[in-house]
């Protein structure tokens, strides 16, 4: 019997920031671009649940989020806290979460920075699988002071949809030890959902289906395989099976693409090319040294990160046609990525630089 769980962290980036800065706890908090008092460009990465009450959500323009927060203030509610993302920190936390899951489950698949699938078939029953998930949830709360939501089902598709139905801090089981009951449960569960809750059905497909009078998964199941293929091609075929909860894709351990990098915050913000290039050169040598010590011979991708005084951060990367192995090659490529930051190509208002980072990826 296959038993799969999907675990997704609650308001991930925002929850990490709230955890790390006690005075922000309980306040509406947004992780995203600098709002610059409503003039900022860029978008919201995520908002905590308090900020979602103001109508703020992922991908909303940050200027809108600022506006919503100002309106809340006028109503006498707390203004939102705006924080810029710290991807390295979230990646570290993500790593810790995966480590916790691995203590309990032999096979996990990390699907994004804040979600993973766990193959719980070894546990033998839905009851046991739920117990494992409770233990993992508790360990994540105890060790990382964060909450997550988990869905359990007979495959990845059902588990993923289930994890999203009770957020935050939920545990939703859609399945049963007896196969026939399990299939029936999954069908009933799916039929009453909105089509949009099926992974892959985004706003465009949703509109096209609604034009055909389809709102719920139940309605979608009335379309034949031929009809769906005719309207949507291969994607129509996928939808046909998804609406029936059919998915036999395995949970596969992803070996993370290795990368090696260094970064350095300067003692003072600067735009002095001599100083910056000097530091960049030294960092390239260190990175190549570490790459060789870790047993890698060559790299193909070079990524340069530049953070300005105002914390705005840009990353530029280049992938070579064929792999390179020397510090000189890395320096040359890093310099090519760096030069535009000294002029108006990447730095039109001559902002001072606070930090640079260099990283090699696609190691062989």
* 9 near Mg ion, judged by CB under 5 A: yes
* 172 near ligand TTP, judged by CB under 6 A: no
Q: Is 164 annotated as a binding residue?
A: no
Q: Which stretch binds ligand TTP (CB under 6 A): 9-17, 97-105, 137-145, 302-310?
A: 9-17
Pairing relationship of beta strands 299-308 and 313-324 according to DSSP bridges: antiparallel
- In DSSP terms, 306 is beta-bridged to 314, 356
CB of 49 to ligand TTP, least distance (A): 8
Name, in order, each residue with C-beta under 8 angstroms of 129's C-beta and a sequence gap of 6 or more: 3, 5, 120, 123, 152, 173
Phi, psi of 284 (to 5 degrees): -60, -40
* 280 near Mg ion, judged by CB under 5 A: no
How many residues of this chain interact with ligand TTP, rule: CB under 6 A? 14
Q: Which stretch binds ligand TTP (CB under 6 A): 8-16, 125-133, 204-212, 279-287?
A: 8-16
* 109 near Mg ion, judged by CB under 5 A: no
361 is known as an active-site residue: no
Residues 110-139, interacting with Mg ion (CB under 5 A): 114
Helix (H/G/I), strand (E/B), else coil: 171: strand
* 12 near ligand TTP, judged by CB under 6 A: yes
Q: Is 114 annotated as a binding residue?
A: yes
CA distances to 129, 184, 237 from 188, rounded to whole Å, are 21, 6, 21
CB of 135 to Mg ion, least distance (A): 20
C-alpha–C-alpha distance, residues 137 and 166, integer Å: 14
**Number of residues in the chain:** 364
Q: Which of 115, 254, 256, 312 is catalytic?
A: 115
DSSP code of 78? P
CA distances to 325, 333, 335, 352 from 284, rounded to whole Å, are 12, 10, 10, 21
* 247 near ligand TTP, judged by CB under 6 A: no
Residues 114-153, interacting with ligand TTP (CB under 6 A): 114
Q: Which stretch binds ligand TTP (CB under 6 A): 5-13, 118-126, 235-243, 347-355?
A: 5-13
CA distances to 98, 101, 126, 305, 333 from 354, rounded to whole Å, are 32, 36, 52, 11, 21
* 8 near Mg ion, judged by CB under 5 A: yes
Residue number with CB closer to ligand TTP (113 or 246): 113
Q: Which stretch binds Mg ion (CB under 5 A): 8-16, 25-33, 103-111, 320-328?
A: 8-16
Residue number with CB closer to ligand TTP (166 or 265): 166
In the structure, how many helices (H) and strands (E) does the chain have? Answer: 13, 12
C-alpha–C-alpha distance, residues 170 and 151, integer Å: 8
* 167 near ligand TTP, judged by CB under 6 A: yes
Handedness of CA 96, 199, 255, 249 (dihedral sign): positive
Helix (H/G/I), strand (E/B), else coil: 269: strand
**Mask 205-244, x = binds ligand TTP (CB under 6 A)?**
----------------------------------------
* 13 near ligand TTP, judged by CB under 6 A: yes
Helix (H/G/I), strand (E/B), else coil: 352: coil
Token pair, residue 153, equals 């089902």
Residues lying near ligand TTP in the complex (CB under 6 A): 8-13, 45-46, 58-59, 113-114, 167-168
Annotated binding site: 8, 114
Catalytic residues: 115
Residues lying near Mg ion in the complex (CB under 5 A): 8-9, 12, 114
Annotated binding site for Mg(2+): 8, 114
């Amino acid at each position: 019997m296959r038993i799969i769980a999907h675990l997704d962290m609650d308001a991930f980036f925002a929850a990490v920031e709230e955890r790390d800065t006690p005075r922000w706890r309980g306040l509406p908090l947004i992780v995203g671009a600098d709002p610059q008092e409503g003039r900022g460009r860029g978008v919201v990465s995520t908002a905590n649940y308090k900020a979602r009450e103001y109508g703020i959500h992922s991908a909303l323009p940050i200027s809108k989020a600022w506006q919503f927060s100002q309106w809340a203030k006028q109503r006498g509610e707390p203004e939102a806290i705006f924080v810029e993302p710290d991807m390295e920190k979230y990646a570290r936390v993500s790593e810790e979460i995966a480590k916790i899951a691995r203590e309990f489950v032999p096979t996990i698949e990390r699907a994004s920075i804040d979600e993973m699938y766990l193959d719980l078939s070894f546990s033998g029953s839905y009851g046991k699988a739920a117990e494992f998930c409770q233990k993992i949830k508790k360990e994540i709360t105890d060790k990382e002071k964060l909450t997550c939501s988990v869905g359990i089902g007979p495959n990845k598709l059902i588990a993923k949809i289930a994890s999203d139905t009770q957020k935050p801090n939920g545990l939703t089981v859609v399945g049963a030890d007896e196969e026939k009951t399990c299939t029936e449960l999954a069908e009933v569960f799916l039929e009453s959902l909105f089509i949009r809750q099926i992974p892959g059905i985004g706003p465009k497909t949703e509109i096209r289906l609604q034009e055909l009078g389809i709102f719920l998964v139940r309605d979608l199941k009335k379309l034949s395989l031929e009809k769906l293929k005719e309207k949507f091609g291969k994607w129509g075929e996928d939808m046909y099976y998804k609406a029936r909860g059919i998915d036999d894709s395995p949970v596969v351990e992803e070996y993370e693409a290795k990368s090696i990098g260094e970064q350095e915050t300067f003692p003072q913000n600067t735009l002095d090319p001599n100083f910056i290039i000097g530091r960049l050169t030294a960092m390239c040598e260190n990175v190549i040294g570490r790459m060789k010590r870790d047993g890698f011979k060559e790299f193909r991708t070079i990524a340069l990160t530049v953070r300005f005084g105002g914390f705005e951060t840009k990353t530029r990367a280049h992938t070579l046609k064929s792999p390179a192995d020397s510090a000189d090659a890395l320096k040359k490529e890093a310099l090519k990525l760096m030069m535009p930051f000294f002029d108006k190509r990447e730095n039109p208002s001559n902002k001072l630089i606070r930090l640079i980072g260099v990283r090699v990826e696609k190691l062989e």
